[in-house]
Amino acid sequence: MSSDAGDKRRRILAAAMETFMEHGFAAATTLEIATRAKVSKRELYALVGNKEAMLAACVAGRGRRMSLPADLPAPTDIAGLRSALRLYGATLLHEVTDPKVLAVFRLAISELRRSPRVAESIDEQGRKPARAALESLLRSACAAKLLKDEDLAAMASHYRGLLSGDLYVWLLLGIEKAPAAKDMERRAAEAADRFLALYGR
């Protein structure tokens, strides 16, 4: 993709999210998105696609950021596993507490009846890849005999509970503010330590 096409695609996705937030997914039109992005509707469809494709692309970008680095080595000892869990936890908290991500979650909730595709897109492009990254880390740790042989999905769910508790509920309601970076790192460290106390060999 040329730099000009890449720039237009970024403008389209930014305009799409602005329009979805302002009008809701169902009421947003491709004409308004194209107008905001300063592209033709033809370019919009050629570079991104329909509204569902735009939403999926926006969410997928965030979903990729919730994964562990591709070059992160598989843990071979408890210290390496603790470090990887801390990195994953801090990354996940940073992404899901971002105001734009919270806005997408709120959009999915408000549009659930009219446009269930919003929630489905978050699940497919955001939640599932993030869960897969954690389960892959835990699978490597089990193979290295660092963790007890347990149900990976259950362990991953328990880890996420230790990491965030009910924080997201209060963030979505606007009652609490997103933690500062140092507080996210503290949460991630505490979650890793508690998780390893439960499941570590």
At 152-171, the pLDDT tens digits run 999 999 999 999 999 999 99
Q: Which residues contact 112 (CB under 8 A, 6 or more apart)?
A: 118, 119
pLDDT confidence band for 74 (50 / 70 / 90): confident
Residue type, 64: R
What fold does the segment set 59-199 form as a domain?
A: Tetracycline Repressor; domain 2 (1.10.357)
CATH 1.10.357.10 in the chain: give the residue spans: 59-199
At 107 the pLDDT is 84
Top-confidence residue, 160 or 149: 160
Say whether pLDDT at 64 is over 70.
Answer: no
At 133 the pLDDT is 86
Q: How far apart are CA 92 and CA 73, in angstroms?
A: 19
Cα–Cα distances in angstroms (integers) from residue 174 to residues 19, 99, 142, 168, in the given order:
21, 10, 38, 10
pLDDT confidence band for 58 (50 / 70 / 90): confident
At 132 the pLDDT is 87
| Class of domain 3-49 (CATH, top level) | mainly alpha
Mean pLDDT along residues 163-183: 93
- pTM strictly above 0.95: no
User: Is residue 106 packed enough to be buried (19+ CB in 10 Å), middle (13-18) or exposed (0-12)?
Assistant: middle
Say whether pLDDT at 146 is over 90.
Answer: yes
- Could you tell me what percent of the chain has a pLDDT over 70? 94
- Region of poorest pLDDT, from 17-21, 61-65, 109-113, 179-183: 61-65
Q: Which residues contact 3 (CB under 8 A, 6 or more apart)?
A: none
**Strand, coil or helix: what is 200?**
strand
Top-confidence residue, 113 or 47: 47
Say whether pLDDT at 9 is over 80.
Answer: yes
CATH 1.10.10.60 in the chain: give the residue spans: 3-49
Say whether pLDDT at 118 is over 90.
Answer: no
Mean pLDDT along residues 2-20: 88
